[in-house]
Amino acid sequence: MTSLDFSQIVPAMPGLIEGLALTLKLLAGGVIGGVVLGTFLALARLSSNRLMSAAALFYVNYFRSIPLLLVISWFYLVVPMLLSWITGSVTPVGAFTSCVVAFVMFEAAYFAEIVRAGIQAIPKGQIGAAFALGMTYGQAMRYVILPQAFRKMLPLLLQQSIILFQDTSLVYAVGLMDFLNTARSKGDIVGLPHEFLLFAAAVYFLISFTASRAVKRLHSRWSV
């Protein structure tokens, strides 16, 4: 440990910050898109339409049964081909876009189960009262059920987001220079791989631990 040299980390900081920014962009895209798609999947799972419910169940079980690394690699290869087939011309798609799509599709399966559990945690009398006021099913979900459900499940959504933050490091498979890949590359260039990887580990730990403590406090405050 006495031979470790962290002196090159400060000069490399601009590149590391750029890599961290890319990681946070991937995280934001995956969480926002995943929650939106996951909400629709949760509503489909709870639908009285058996075909819609079965399709949503298959989607959730499928994506929860395969590795995220496989999904990233698959979408990196398939998305450009699919867009070219739809548009009829070669449509270049960057690795960033492919990874965001992969994160959205993958995380939606996990967010869907969180949202479904949140909806089911709301007393059935709430939707009955909404119907008594003349609301449609869509209005009841939008104005009565989902606002309460999201408040209850927010800590779980944030916890899943922390997991996704850690999983963004898998984009190394398609050559994206996220925070971890940037740190590894910078370390190799200056001949200090161990120091840069230790620094990256410390940053991941600091962010994840701080976010986890915030989620725990939120969980206790709202008594979810």
Reduce the DSSP state of residue 151 to 3 states and report it: helix
Confidence of residue 86 (pLDDT cuts 50, 70, 90): confident
3-class DSSP string for 173-206: HHCCCCHHHHHHHHHHHHCCHHHHHHHHHHHHHH
Q: Which domains does the chain have, with CATH numbers?
A: 24-176 (1.10.3720.10)
Angle (nearest 5°) at CA 115 between 78 and 33: 35
* Average pLDDT of the segment spanning 172-193: 92
* pLDDT of 116 strictly over 50: yes
As a whole number of angstroms, the distance between CA 120 and CA 197 comes to 43
Q: Which two tokens stand for residue 82?
A: 């699919």
Give the distance from CA 29 to its chain's centroid.
7
Measuring CA to CA, which residue among 39, 57, 222, 46 is closest to residue 127? 46
